[in-house]
């Protein structure tokens, strides 16, 4: 069995519901591959093909060697750029964790380009970006990825916004999107307060770069969250 999942990866694992009967589950930018390996070992997901993808040869070599002694019938290894793979098949779950928001957007652009060519394709996306969640949400909104769930995770002094998006082909989304997070802040903990304060300062600095596309809007959105919740 691969090493125990930490809190961040455990939460993404728990979002993978076998009821969805995915044809393909992609652990993109997998590095150590812990999440994909745990998913491949889940007996309820045996009908899904689980893919580990990383662009670094030494990482994939190590993973292939490490798994050669175990029985993983449904596991596949790809030494590849996650943004340019073909994504064959119809129903996909992709997980992108531990990379910056810019990389997330580049990879999602590639996936959507590949998947939109296939009639009847569906896509669920689990994200845990290291940075730029405001921009990632904006990107998803612009590309008809509908927010299905989200959660704020704190671990070892670091904070993460986890997002679960669904794309189906797709009807326009009627509700108003909030790029600073929708349901994350109603229970406002000291950790969330510190996290938002940091984002406000970050976007204040970004405003000095007058060509930054959304620094002002992001700063306003995060400041409003602070004003709404910090005095509760």
Ligand X SMILES: C[S@@+](CC[C@H](N)C(=O)[O-])C[C@H]1O[C@@H](n2cnc3c(N)ncnc32)[C@H](O)[C@@H]1O
Question: Given the rule CB under 6 A, which residues bind ligand X?
Answer: 29-31, 53-56, 59, 81-83, 97-99, 103, 107
Q: How far is the CB of 218 from ligand X (least distance, A)?
A: 24
User: Considering the complex, what minimum distance in angstroms separates the CB of residue 167 from ligand X?
Assistant: 19
Residue closer to ligand X by CB (options 79, 90) is 79
CA angle 108, 134, 84 (to 5 degrees): 15
Q: Which is nearer to ligand X, 88 or 177 (CB)?
A: 88
Cα 3–8–11 angle (5° rounding)? 95
Residue 95 Cβ vs ligand X, minimum distance, rounded to whole Å: 8
User: What are all long-range contacts of 206-215, with beta carbons under 8 Å and residues at least 24 apart?
Assistant: 214/134, 214/135, 214/138, 214/179
Q: Are 167 and 145 in contact (CB under 8 A)?
A: yes
Residue pair 105/96 in contact by the 8 Å Cβ criterion:
no
146-155 sheet: strands from edge to edge? 75-79, 49-54, 24-28, 91-97, 122-128, 158-167, 146-155
Q: 60 or 215: whose CB is closer to ligand X?
A: 60
Distance, CA of 198 to CA of 230 (rounded, Å):
14
- Rounded to whole angstroms, the Cα distance separating 210 from 192 reads 28
CB of 89 to ligand X, least distance (A): 19
Looking at beta carbons only, is 96 or 221 nearer to ligand X? 96
DSSP-derived 3-state class of residue 92: strand
Q: Which is nearer to ligand X, 104 or 215 (CB)?
A: 104
Smallest separation, CB 16 to ligand X (Å): 14
* Backbone conformation region of residue 81, classed left if phi is above 0, alpha if psi is from -120 to 50, else beta: beta
Q: How near is the Cβ of 49 to ligand X at its closest, in Å?
A: 18
Question: Which residue, judged by CB position, is nearest to ligand X in the bound state?
Answer: 98
- Among residues 2 and 200, whose Cβ is nearest to ligand X? 2
Find where tokens 């306003």 sit.
220
């Amino acid at each position: 069995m691969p090493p125990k999942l930490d809190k961040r990866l455990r939460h993404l694992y728990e979002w993978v519901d076998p009821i969805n009967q995915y044809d393909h589950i992609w652990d993109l930018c997998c590095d150590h591959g812990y999440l994909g390996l745990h998913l491949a070992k889940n007996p309820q997901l045996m009908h899904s093909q689980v893919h580990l993808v990383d662009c670094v040869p030494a990482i994939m070599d190590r993973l292939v060697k490490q798994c050669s002694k175990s029985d993983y019938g449904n596991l596949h290894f790809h030494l590849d750029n996650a943004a340019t793979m073909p994504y064959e098949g119809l129903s996909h779950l992709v997980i992108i964790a531990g990379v910056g928001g810019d990389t997330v957007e580049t990879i999602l652009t590639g996936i959507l380009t590949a998947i939109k060519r296939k009639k009847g394709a569906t896509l669920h996306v689990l994200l845990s970006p290291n940075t730029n969640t405001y921009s990632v949400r904006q990107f998803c909104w612009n590309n008809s990825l509908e927010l299905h769930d989200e959660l704020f995770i704190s671990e070892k002094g670091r904070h993460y916004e986890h997002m679960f998006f669904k794309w189906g082909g797709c009807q326009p989304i009627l509700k108003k999107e909030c790029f600073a997070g929708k349901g994350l802040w109603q229970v406002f903990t000291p950790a969330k307060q510190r996290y938002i304060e940091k984002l406000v300062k970050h976007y204040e600095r970004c405003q000095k770069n007058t060509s930054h596309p959304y620094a002002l809007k992001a700063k306003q959105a995060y400041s409003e969250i602070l004003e709404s919740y910090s005095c509760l």
